[in-house]
Structure 1
């Protein structure tokens, strides 16, 4: 309850004012390079602000969102921004949430794939239908030959076998259709996974429902994050993150700085986990 009240107050008063009054202005004197400051907020949009009131709500950011420091950053010179290197921190912060989203997408897609048992059942039914189809065609030809030779009794007996095979084939075809409708990508109510935010989409949805998804807050949040990551990766290509003193270490990484240099040095970053999948 206290956290919800604080979040509401932050929205009404602004995080700066709330922090200042709650800590007697202690955080109002934070420098722009202090690790308590949210560098994603300074450079662009903090991921915690993208998904409020959605299934992916990340809750309030643990870092300080200071409008004054954001203005200071926006009005700083290019050389000063390069010295701070906050855009690298922003990329790393976004990378974390993009990778997490991609893991959810992969998990959701695997849930829609056919199980080994479903594949085995499908193959058995397809083989059964093919064998019955061959039996029917051969039987009809045999009936025709027996009829021409006057072997009526034998022809009628063969015709009975053909009808039985046709009935078995119809049953197998129904079983195959039921299996396809309830398993794998064609089942699960014709579901497909959105390759941007990981939500399930139905191929049966009308344009209005699809528009609600693609223009929804969660989808747009991940879409904007991926586009921003890609844009920054191009802009920072060939640049190395600044060397910082220990007290100015990357606030978004628990690991050593060398890991960040490997990710962002030279190539300007990886793919951000944004693996393009088939869209429809």
Structure 2
């Protein structure tokens, strides 16, 4: 579709005075500098994280549905003449990489907290040692000794539960969740959302989980990840995509 044909389509959609001026030179086209190319390509990151901790502010460029409709009339081969979808894929890739790094950091915090708990708690150290011993006895087929060690192990677990040993609370978001749920056995139930990097707990109610999965941050990262996969499947993706 030529530029003139695209402008005629806009005329049909919006009228000749869509820009407040009927002069040909004043009519907008999706290639204009002030038009948001990410919106034209299907997803402006400024839109998906509104009122979240990842807020990007208002997009400085024009979001035009009629211009997007014109762009969408092009087939993928024609769209590849413009850099818009490849640029969008590159930007979404950067957002995903940043989130994935946050997920790894949050998971490491939980691992470090668990390791610190075991190191500082004599009962937890004994349990850890006995678990290794029981596994070895089981592999060797020494069932009598395995039964004795396993009984001792269960006794220690019960003792730890009864004592409700306090744990070192991690900083940041992990600390807030642990403070909410309290005990060390509950902290062990924490996990990191693989979509948005937030902490979740197996003790969360259905409503709390639904609130998380339908929340703006989670839905925003879902939209980013799904759009990136769509662009990649259609052949629009960064030339260099290193393994995370």
Using the TM superposition, give the Cα deviation of residue 110 of structure 1 relative to its aligned residue in structure 2, in angstroms.
2.2
- Aligned residue for 2:191, secondary structure, equals strand
Q: Does 1:222 align with 2:209?
A: no
Alpha-carbon distance between aligned partners in 1 of 2:157 and 2:231, rounded to the nearest angstrom:
58
| 1:225-240 equivalent positions in 2, closer than 5 A | 225-236=224-235
| 1:22-33 equivalent positions in 2, closer than 5 A | 31-33=29-31
Name the counterpart of 2:207.
208
Alpha-carbon distance between aligned partners in 1 of 2:93 and 2:221, rounded to the nearest angstrom:
11
Name the counterpart of 1:178.
165
From the superposition, tell whether residues 29 and 122 of structure 1 become closer, same or farther in structure 2 (CA, over 3 Å). Answer: farther
List alignment gaps of at least 5 residues for structure 2: 1-18, 21-25, 131-155, 171-177, 179-183
From the superposition, tell whether residues 270 and 65 of structure 1 become closer, same or farther in structure 2 (CA, over 3 Å). Answer: farther
Of 37, 41, 44, the match for 1:43? 41
Which whole-Å deviations, capped at 9, do the CAs of 1:146-188 have from their partners, x for residues lacking one?
Answer: xxxxxxxxxxxxxxxxxxxxxxx79974697515696798554
Of 93, 96, 101, the match for 1:95? 93
Alpha-carbon distance between aligned partners in 1 of 2:127 and 2:81, rounded to the nearest angstrom:
70
Is the Cα contact below 8 Å between 1:122 and 1:176 reproduced in 2? no
Pick which of 180-189 and 119-128 moved more.
180-189
TM-score (ref. length: structure 1): 0.53
Is the Cα contact below 8 Å between 1:181 and 1:187 reproduced in 2? no
Using the TM superposition, give the Cα deviation of residue 48 of structure 1 relative to its aligned residue in structure 2, in angstroms.
0.9
Which whole-Å deviations, capped at 9, do the CAs of 1:102-138 have from their partners, x for residues lacking one?
Answer: 222222222222355434234675339989xxxxxxx
Of 83, 86, 90, the match for 1:85? 83
Is the Cα contact below 8 Å between 2:116 and 2:168 reproduced in 1? no
Alpha-carbon distance between aligned partners in 1 of 2:202 and 2:128, rounded to the nearest angstrom:
28
Alpha-carbon distance between aligned partners in 2 of 1:124 and 1:100, rounded to the nearest angstrom:
38
- Aligned residue for 1:56, secondary structure, equals coil
Is the Cα contact below 8 Å between 1:129 and 1:173 reproduced in 2? no
List alignment gaps of at least 5 residues for structure 1: 1-19, 22-27, 132-168, 242-259, 264-268, 274-280
Of 62, 65, 74, the match for 1:64? 62
From the superposition, tell whether residues 200 and 178 of structure 1 become closer, same or farther in structure 2 (CA, over 3 Å). Answer: same
Q: Decide which structure has the larger Cα Rg and report it.
A: 1
Cα RMSD (Å) of the superposition? Answer: 3.9
From the superposition, tell whether residues 45 and 128 of structure 1 become closer, same or farther in structure 2 (CA, over 3 Å). Answer: closer
